[in-house]
Amino acid sequence: MAGRWLRAARGMGGRRRRGWSEAPAFAAEQRATLVNVKLKWVKDRALDGAVSRERDLRAAHHLLDVVSARPGHRVSRPELLADSSVRRAFGGVDGVDAFLARYHTLFALRRGGGVFLTDAALDLRRREVDCLVESEPDLVSRLRRLLMLTLPRSLPLHTVDLLRWDLGLPRDYRASILRRYPDHFALDQPEGDERVWLRLLWWDDGLAVSELEKSTAGGGGGDTTCLPFPVSFTKGFGLRSKCINWLREWQALPYTSPYADPSGLDRRTDVSEKRNVGVFHELLHLTVAKRTERRNVSNMRKLLGMPQKFTKVFERHPGIFYLSRVLGTQTVVLREAYGGGSLLLAKHAHPLATIREEYSAVMRAALPPRRRRRSRESDSCSEQDEECVGGEEFELTE
């Protein structure tokens, strides 16, 4: 994207103390009220396109998991359709058959009803497995940091399941990842609770540094007192002067680490809201594609120490988050991670993201020429022409 990051003035007094057990050092500086500023939602076709492209990818990956788990990477059609998770994912038998036929570059149908993986799919699958093995320490670290964001340092397994794809966890993570790291994770079922919880066994101060803090002065330990968030807006957003002034002042407020104890913060203040924004900013950084569905985090309010209607921060800060409303759901996208509609892999590199991009390319090759051309035009719009609704960034100065 062209332009520069919105940066607010720094230099407010005080020094934040890290550590889960320590309260933020800014209680005396908090504003009395939460400023009532409403920013409009503006559609961003480029980011909507990035979200839309993942729908079929996730469905394809579900089938890849099922087929590749069978001997010889082959499954009979009746056996595949007998899988209730497959039928549910595709809306019935007809949906499965249509999907297999559409993406013949991944799935081969043989006489007699056998479903195989194509050579291209097998190659990508092997590389993906290798990638998961090589990046497992990073995956474990991100899972630990996710649990460290919560007040009880634990999450219901159902919530972890909702975030599984976004975090890059393998489908069998309970039997693989969790069992291989008994010093980090434990499964508990509290008395009177039907849910099973994933609990972090010990805190690591070395992991309790947010991505925003790491980016300060190139990670060289610069001042983290009043960190501003990177901000960009969709072309044509048109901020009013009142909103610009509020945003400048809000960016200059004290920054509370998402890993710090928030109990000393007044939830009715802008300082507390900035902490809430920081929690989701960090959470999205922990995901592979720097995005997740809103419903995946909607049940985490108490666990994250959030106020009522806490997901309203996505609407109040459209320069930090983009709320995509395609595919019949709402997906929260971290704006800074995208250039138009493409993930900035050079800056936000994750090996799984690269593999998933290659899966998408193989799937696009199966589409009719007209649909392929439309997809390329969308990518071109995202990357080359801001007038096509790429991001517009700007700087506020005193």
Note the pTM of the prediction, 2 decimals: 0.84
Confidence of residue 375 (pLDDT cuts 50, 70, 90): low
Confidence of residue 372 (pLDDT cuts 50, 70, 90): low
Q: What is the pLDDT of residue 211?
A: 94
End-to-end CA distance of the chain: 24
**H/E stretch holding 333:** strand 331-334
Q: What percent of the chain has pLDDT over 70?
A: 80
CA distance 161 to 167: 10
Tokens of 79: 């056996």
What is the spatial order of strands in the sheet that 107-110 belongs to? 74-76, 114-117, 107-110
Ramachandran area for residue 367 (φ above 0: left; ψ -120 to 50: alpha; else beta):
beta
Confidence of residue 27 (pLDDT cuts 50, 70, 90): very low
CA distance 170 to 386: 37
Residue 107: strand, helix, or coil: strand
Q: What percent of the chain has pLDDT over 90?
A: 58
CA distance 300 to 156: 10
Q: For the chain, which residues make up each domain, given as ranges? A: 45-366
- SS3 per-residue string spanning 29-41: HCCCCCCCCCCCC
Residue 52, number of CB atoms within 10 A of its CB? 17
Tokens of 108: 């081969």
